[in-house]
Amino acid sequence: MQEHPDIDVLISEVGPRDGLQSVKSVMPTEAKCAWITAEAGAGVREIEVASFVPPKLLPQMADAAEVVAHALKIKGLTVAALVPNFKGAENAIRAGVHKISLPLSVSETHSKANLRKTHEQVLDEVRRIAELIRSLPEDQRPGFEGALSTAFGCTLEGPVPEDKVVQLAAALMEAGCNEVGLSDTTGYANPAQLRRLIRLVRAEVGEDRLSNVHLHNTRGLGLANALAALEEGITTLDSSLGGIGGCPFAPGASGNIVTEDLVFMLDAMGINTGINLNRLLKVREIVQEALPAESLYGFTPDAGLPRGYGRGGWGLGQEAA
């Protein structure tokens, strides 16, 4: 299973949103734009650039519209944003994003802490957003994903029933989402659980309506879970440059998958991401300079690429440089 030339995986970078909203430092707008430009230049095709939330709640996201305006100038880049409610969706759509994602926490306790809404209240917001999107000209409608947060367990509530995940996935689709995604918000997932839940949700909503998973590396299982997801046919994986990010309303839920480590694993396996690994590693310099008080993580950046390394391993493909 070393080479997979027929597989094309989309890495969706979430650092400018999930990463930055979870650290105390506020990155200057110019640095955010430089980060996004550099990652797109390395071959990253989708970036979640912001969250449209009230600045008083997340001052890190106060410049969301300005960042989106910059990202939209980058040819070939899918510009995504997270929205917590109808107002956020209105603002994101007005800014011109290509894709919006709204989180619905399977744990209702987490939903109330994160969005201050019950399940039914969140679904009401989804219906209103779907109606707004349908009112737009067809070529101006953003993609609309319902992200099932705390799908594998909750730090506030404990175990999350799998049948509840499936039920809410169906409810999101019925309310008007184009697709659903599974989020390991708290870093609880293991590969067997992930495989099982992917199959259950797909059996309910359709094979092509679940293509994305958002995984954390809180307990060191991030890459193992990513590989399990790929083997179940998932084609989009979220990750964060330097592994920054988590969830401010889920205590202990630190550690997105490190984009650099994920790309190295896939690259070494011969799986196409379209990302130049050496260029990606250089993007860290922009982020570290702008966030000197924050730690960046990653085994690949620390160790460097192996001697003689080429895409697909050693001597199996093009040089990574």
With a cut of 50, say whether residue 321 has pLDDT above it. no
State pLDDT tens for residues 125-184.
999 999 999 999 999 999 999 999 999 998 888 899 999 999 999 999 999 999 999 999
State pLDDT tens for residues 49-90.
999 999 998 999 999 999 999 999 999 999 999 999 999 999
Q: What's the CATH class of domain 10-314?
A: alpha beta
pLDDT at 313: 55
How many percent of the chain have pLDDT more than 70? 91
Q: What is the pTM of this model?
A: 0.92
pLDDT at 112: 73
What is the DSSP secondary-structure string of 152-210?
T-BTTTB---HHHHHHHHHHHHHHT-SEEEEE-TTS---HHHHHHHHHHHHHHH-GGGE
Looking at every residue in the chain, the average pLDDT score rounds to 90
Q: Name the residue with higher pLDDT: 195 or 107.
A: 195
pLDDT at 319: 44
Known catalytic residues are 247
Cβ–Cβ < 8 Å for 153, 188: yes
Give the pLDDT mean for 103-119.
Answer: 82
Give the pLDDT mean for 236-261.
Answer: 77
With a cut of 60, say whether residue 4 has pLDDT above it. no
Beta-carbon contacts of residue 225 (< 8 Å; ≥ 6 apart): 184, 189, 190, 191, 194, 213, 215
Give the end-to-end CA distance of the chain in Å, rounded to a whole number: 24
State pLDDT tens for residues 177-223.
999 999 998 889 999 999 999 999 999 999 999 999 999 998 889 99
The overall longest dimension of the chain from CA atoms, in Å, is 55
Residue 315 CA to residue 230 CA, distance in Å, equals 24
Residue 218 CA to residue 313 CA, distance in Å, equals 27
Domain ranges across the chain: 10-314
pLDDT at 186: 86
With a cut of 60, say whether residue 12 has pLDDT above it. yes
Helices and strands, number each (H, E), in the chain = 11, 10
With a cut of 70, say whether residue 303 has pLDDT above it. yes
**Ramachandran bin of 152, using left for φ above 0, alpha for ψ from -120 to 50, beta for the remaining angles:** alpha
**Residue bearing tokens 């175990």:** 159
The number of residues making up the chain comes to 321
Residue 232: HSE in the Cβ half-sphere, 13 Å Cα cutoff: 28
